[in-house]
């Protein structure tokens, strides 16, 4: 069949009821206007042979055109939507057969069907995405009235599903590669952050207690980073975690390394926070808990560190850490000491996410309050 000269004067199918989402679904596959590929060419060749017809197409229905990923017997890669039989078919059931296009109201006035050597037979199986929306068809056509037997119909449906499996596999691999690149980027940034912390402490610590404190601080950062990546891996959110789950996880990690007489608990609301905010909060609450354990609960005195997270009426994020160690004995440390450096890191972490941080006496001990505007 020679490639026809397309004219858009014939009847055009109505848009799909979920046209916007259908087009969005189609474009996610990133398949339009790609070169021919043997994986799809072989399917249309097989469909043409099994159905004993001269024409077969993997047809994707775009906004104003139908585009052929693979075809035999057409000699073109796209045609206007006005001449598309498949644009009518995607409004129907999963399989459509038109035995004689001259006798079907959807195709009787189609200029591709009207000539003596025009398209007289059509059968198509929908290419249906996982969300249930059709993105096109695998179809076969003939220049004379025809009918498929049950085996041919089943084969056409099976091959249409094979086309979708191929498209879905490619989309999954593409998504996986993007996620892997993103995770690699996150891990690299996290390791660089830990390495920077090591260098800072290395330049400040003295041997003895300071060195022990420095290694403890580095260990807390590594554990918090590992927890964040673990939660990101399992999170359905895009580059975010739930604050209540994340802070509870950090509190649990801190509790594991705290003395038996110190309890570390968390009460936070379930709200999504970005990875940057989560990482900064982990640093801040970890440093506060470490200072409380060291300064507020001396000589085995029992106590509690409470971490709370909430959203204020104006949408601002509020995180409070407080201990019940009595009088605020968290002394103002020497700026060159590990403790002093820890407080500077807390302030820097707050500043990194555009938050304010205040430390001072609380009702029962020492208190830290972070406010991050909406």
Summarize pLDDT for 31-81 with one digit per residue, the tens: 999 999 998 999 999 999 999 999 999 999 998 899 999 999 988 999 888
In terms of pLDDT, which residue wins out, 9 or 193?
193
Burial of 153 (0-12, 13-18, 19+ CB in 10 A): middle
Cα–Cα distance for residue pair 74/323, rounded to 1 Å: 77
- For the chain, domains (ranges, CATH) are 19-171 (3.30.450.40), 205-372 (3.30.565.10)
Burial of 308 (0-12, 13-18, 19+ CB in 10 A): middle
Alpha-carbon dihedral 105, 83, 62, 106, rounded to 10 degrees: 0
> Over the chain, what is the mean pLDDT?
79
Q: What is the pLDDT of residue 99?
A: 92
Q: What letter would DSSP give residue 286?
A: H
Does the pLDDT at position 216 exceed 50?
Answer: yes
- Angle in degrees, CA 209, 215, 218, rounded to 5: 140
**Lowest-pLDDT choice from 27-31, 216-220, 282-286:** 216-220
**Lowest-pLDDT choice from 19-23, 57-61, 125-129, 180-184:** 180-184
In the chain, pLDDT over 70 holds for what percent of residues?
Answer: 75
- The pTM (predicted TM-score) of the whole model is 0.49
Count other Cβ atoms within 10 Å, centred on residue 274.
14
pLDDT in tens, 224-278: 556 555 655 555 666 778 899 889 988 888 887 778 888 999 999 999 988 778 8
Give the model's confidence band at 319: pLDDT under 50 very low, under 70 low, under 90 confident, else very high: very high
pLDDT in tens, 84-109: 888 888 888 789 999 998 888 888 77
Q: What is the pLDDT of residue 117?
A: 80
């Amino acid at each position: 069949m020679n490639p026809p000269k397309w004219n858009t004067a014939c009847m055009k199918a109505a848009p799909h009821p979920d046209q916007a989402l259908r087009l969005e679904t189609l474009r996610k596959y990133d398949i339009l206007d790609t070169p021919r590929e043997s994986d799809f060419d072989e399917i249309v060749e097989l469909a043409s042979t099994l159905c004993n017809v001269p024409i077969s197409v993997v047809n994707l229905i775009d906004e104003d055109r139908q585009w052929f990923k693979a075809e035999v017997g057409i000699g073109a890669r796209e045609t206007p939507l006005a001449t598309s039989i498949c644009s009518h078919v995607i409004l129907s059931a999963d399989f459509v057969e038109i035995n004689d296009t001259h006798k079907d109201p959807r195709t009787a006035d189609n200029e591709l069907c009207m000539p003596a050597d025009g398209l007289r037979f059509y059968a198509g199986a929908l290419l249906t995405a996982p969300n249930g929306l059709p993105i096109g068809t695998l179809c076969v056509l003939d220049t004379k009235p025809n009918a498929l037997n049950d085996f041919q119909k089943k084969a056409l449906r099976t091959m249409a599903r094979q086309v979708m499996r191929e498209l879905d596999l490619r989309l999954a691999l593409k998504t996986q590669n993007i996620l892997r690149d993103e995770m690699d980027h996150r891990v690299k940034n996290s390791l660089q952050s830990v390495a920077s912390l090591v260098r800072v402490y290395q330049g400040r610590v003295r041997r003895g207690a300071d060195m022990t404190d420095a290694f403890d601080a580095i260990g807390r950062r590594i554990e918090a980073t590992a927890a964040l990546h673990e939660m990101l891996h399992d999170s359905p959110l895009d580059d975010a975690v739930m604050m209540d789950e994340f802070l509870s996880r950090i509190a649990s990690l801190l509790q594991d390394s705290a003395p038996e007489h110190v309890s570390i608990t968390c009460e936070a609301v379930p709200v999504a926070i970005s990875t940057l905010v989560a990482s900064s909060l982990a640093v801040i609450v970890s440093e506060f808990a470490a200072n409380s354990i060291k300064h507020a609960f001396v000589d085995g005195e029992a106590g509690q560190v409470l971490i709370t997270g909430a959203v204020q009426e104006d949408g601002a994020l509020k995180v409070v850490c407080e201990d019940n160690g009595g009088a605020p004995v968290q002394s103002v440390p020497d700026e060159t000491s590990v403790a002093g450096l820890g407080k500077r890191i807390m302030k820097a972490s707050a500043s990194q996410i555009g938050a304010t941080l205040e430390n001072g006496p609380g009702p029962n001990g020492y208190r830290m309050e972070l406010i991050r505007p909406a």
